[in-house]
Structure 1
Amino acid sequence: MVFFFCLIFTLSHSQIVPESFKQLSDSLIHARPKTYRELDSVLRNKRADTVYMHYFNQTSARNGYYDGQAYALNQLGRKYRDISQFPKAISLHQLALKAAEEADNLEFRIYSLNMLGVIYRKSDAIKTALDYHQEALDLASTEKNPSNGIKRSINVSLNSIGNLYQTLRQYDIAIAQYKKSMALEKELDNKLGLAINYQNIGECLEHKGQLTEALHHYRTSLEYNNEINNHKGLIICKNSIAQIYIKQNKVKEALEILEPNLLAAEEIGNMYIATSINLNIGWALMELEEYQNAEKYLNRGLALANTHHLPSFISEAYSLLSKLATHKESYKNALLYYQKAESLNVAINSEVNRKYIYDLIIKYETEKQHNEIANLANENLLINLKLKRNKNMLFIGALGMALLTFLLYILYRQKELKNDKKILTLEQSMLRSQMNPHFLFNSLNSIKLYIINNDKKNAVHYLNKFSKLVRKILEASSLKEISLFDELETIELYMNIENIRFSNEINFVILIDEPIDPHNVKIPSLILQPFLENALWHGLSTKEGEKNIELRVSRENSNYIKITITDNGVGRKASERLKRNKVLKRKSVGIDITKERLANFSKDFEHSFQVEIIDLYSSEKESLGTQVILHIPTS
């Protein structure tokens, strides 16, 4: 049956094969080596040539040499994978798997399963990819004394599981997996495996925003690829290095790498890498405001991603096109591209995929730990001459479970303490931002002027308000949440104090829609003041004429209330220009702290806190001010 399928694949490749290779094939078929290493040591220089591999596959099948057939079919599959012909590559690796099963060759079965997993991972078929790598690991674990070939396949599986952790954005766990694989690759002195793992660790560090460390790992991978003359690896490394340069605003240096690198990728026919490079060139040109050329490369990358069924790159292309449309002020197209990118991201990173991967990875780790405990138990039984077997097994199992439970508890507590520390730090930062020395000094200075001017009534009035404000801020800082009524009372006091410095020119009004009862609505403490401070000092402080701030509380739906803060200030763009020209720059950190606090609070709610900041414009594109919308969950 395997021979019949292989004939179909090889009939269209019956080109002239040199007599020397025919003799080489005959000698291999006669000797019938069974390991990948033995075959590869002879055929390594020919394995990238599809004509030779088709011939060796056909001749091996005809002579019942299924080990050689599995080797040839896998090399053909790798070749078609590298030029992004994934369906054809899958068919070849599946035939290789059947040949390996016919030969009862465990090493080639594991190798074929891993190759199938790699292809499905590249095409974002996450569940299928993990099934193949899991099956490969399960098969490998049945061999007590694995060969170097099986050990390398185990490393491929470990590396791929690391890739899946990376897909889940669990970058620290992924890095640990890659380092585990790297240690095994060092034992085998497999420089290709080391190059791949350094590249993967660099990708994780890049996602974490550690660009300098990521660049170091990419360059280390580049050195290994140079040493083994791996053209494909060199192209991948250079593309990653250029991507870091773009993020570091070294756009011209990035283009100097990307443009020749694109030619190299196209020359070897690897459309997967070529797609990524086209998108990076488009991104770099967009940063240089060469929008027409940028659009050309982004569309080319999108076309390649669609042609070769690469969902992640399709999503990335739409995201970049959305950003480009925004630069060109084509907001309708920007929204359309953004929606397309988001729909693909939802499909790729769906909760079903994530849960499936978590369940299988946990299952694998649990089974592995169980096997280790069982092995320890067996050794103990041998030392004690197999006495009290059942009792010892129960004791060791219970001890292992207790240790595992204790370890999990420690990890859980560390996570909780780290989270509590983060929340405490945020609360302290928020208190410092609201009770900063400049505010206290300026407020008291303003009250002092009333005293100097012998305006006792206003001095006492504002001093009372100031003391009440300080008391309410200190009280609220010790509480996780307070009523909306208390928060509104606090910010009204704050606005009264700040308005002194504006000569009472600020028209501040609070509106609460029916039937909202502010006494019954709970919100995180001290979250509104940073937005009002921002409106005052960045929106209204430089504005001439009428200065208004409106705070409206309304019911959005059954799950949310909405707090809208609207000012008629100069707008964010004008404020940014003015700020650049100021000698003393006032830095707004309160809003960033508030957003991070709200993100932490969201963990305790079914729905999440959300903040929108909207620039208001007239029909003539003139700035009308800024609007901040806080979506506060009620459940």
Structure 2
Amino acid sequence: MAMLSVHTFYGQQNQSGFILEGLVRSQDNQMPISGVSVSTDKGEYTSTNGLGEFKIRANIGDEIVFRSPEFETVFHRITSKEEIIVEVQDFEPNARGGSRATTAVEHQRYLDSANFYKKTDIEKSLDFISKSISNTTLEPSKTQVNHSLTLLGEIYLYHKQFDLAVANLEDALGAKKTVRTTLLLAKAYVLNKEYDAALEQLQKLDAVKNMPPYQRIEKEELKGDAQKGMGKSKLAQQFYEAGLKIAEKNQVTPKIIDLSTKIAENFAAQNRQIEAEDYYNNSIKLSKQQAPERQVREKEKVADFYNQTSRYEDEIQLRKENLSQLKRLPKKKVLLKDEPAQKDSITTQRINYKIANAYIAQEKLAEAIPYLQKSIVEADSDNDLVVQKDATRKLSEVYEYRGDFDKAYKTYQEYVSLVDTLYIRKEQELSRLARLNREVANKQNRISSLEQERELSQSKYSLAMTEQKLFETRANWQKVLIYSLVMGMALFALTAFFFYRSNQKQKLANNLLALKSLRSQMNPHFIFNALNSVNNYIAKSDERSANRYLSDFSLLMRTVLENSEEDFIPFTKELELIKLYLKLEHSRFPDKFDYDIKIADEVDIHAFQIPPMLVQPYIENAVWHGLRYKENKGELIVSVTQPQEDMLEIMVTDNGIGRKHSANLKTDNQRRQKSKGMGNIKKRIAILNDMYKNKVDVTINDLNEDETGTKVVLRLKKD
């Protein structure tokens, strides 16, 4: 049972209500209660932190609601700006005493810390997520697991790692289904362009009752985003208007602005300029009630609309107003909503540059020059090389059009110098991003491992508790067994059967876990060299080749990650992966080997399933240890035949230097690396054959009698 008491504390007043602060705690021992959902009937939402505290934007007259599985829901009408304290009578978070409560507080503190560093330091944020998972007990609550994985998904969403966000939010929903997590997962699907999956999640929320207005608005908005992504503008418009109706009914001004802008953009895309302008004007009008930064953002969107419709004078007037307003802000910079990158910010140099472009579009070159000069000076002061480069190039073109060739040449030289500087910075940024991606991948693997260890520990703990209960039950039955030996033997046999089945299940779970771990390991040597290839293309200014190679490499990585969750995949998918991998390797060593993939006419490639990434390591060995050291150009052939109706035979042959000669050329580190890679393949095959009764067979022999060349034959039986 929860009781409500009010203590005097004046909230922070602003243009749209005030910040109401409060606390939720136990009445008996004053212990803070974390994870309590706090919302208002106007759509605002938050939850209590590890100290039981919360802050929420509210207005006098709003109804505030406190929800938790630990106590009855509390409703309260806000009548003042005073602090609200909710005290719960007879609060017992669980039957095991205070250890779980202490762990819950620590878990929430880790999540608070992770959330604090979410935007500024992704590595620290992931470290705190790891601690929140490793800190949980053998039987953590599903809510704790959901909170950790949901925040992890939010972190990846903010940093635009949409695949990782989807994976972790799916796991969070698996732990506990909540409206908030479902909305975040739908958002991740939309950003990852998986629109059907997003709509499927959102349709599940249609049956949820008593959803806060803000979440109902988000649901309709995300449906509109998904339909828009699928090119269905009319359906998107319907969902946006439905969300706008809810927002206007509940006076959720920020969402009214968001949805008005999206409806305007939708109309603009259909060339319905009058309707678009009406909604744009409405968003500007409402944004005046919000923070100045929000007003700047909305005006810039409308100015972009004027630019697209060639209304340059209106665009210039609006951007000049923004310049004046932006200069009064402390940072003179406005970030677009939920955008971490500074390249997407609204700055005075960017606005000056756009004003100059609007003048140039009207052939008013004299008016454009001062704004280009201001843009260059401000960009230089703000170390914004991209805008400085673009403005300098545009200024050089303006001087040239005006016939002032000396200034045009001088400005062009400055532009060339900026391009060189920007190129060096891009190289440094690429290197930093590569390092950061490696760190993020390592930390994600660590989090995944912790979650697997937690699940395994929980499974072992549950098994131990079951065994203990069985032992206690058996001890109690001993008195009965004296009078009924036959019944006792039957019970013993039944218990032994249960133990055997449990052990078999545990063995299967361990095999699946080992398979998943082995499947996820791809040769880091290939990834490192692939990134070096991209750098080489960039160094040669071969941007097209770099983009093409990076696109193929990204497709390969995505294919490997998608297939890594399965024990078997269609052979057609494995064949696509082989072709893509050979294409990448051949583009790196075009003078070392040619390759061919031969598929016999009688082979039904759609009829077979194959373990993912089974053939690729043998092809990689053929390239790296056989053909790469060959003096003249070699040949690699992958042939597929079907010797029997239920058997597929894959043969990888190369005329390289051979296994013996290759072994003599290797360093100790290379031998260890190969041994580890081949060891993983052998382990996978052994586990698969154990689980699926000798389904896969591999033989490796020299191709020629002089021990040159290598022939690998994989035989796969059909179920």
TM-score range, shorter chain: 0.3 to 0.5
Higher relative helix content: 1
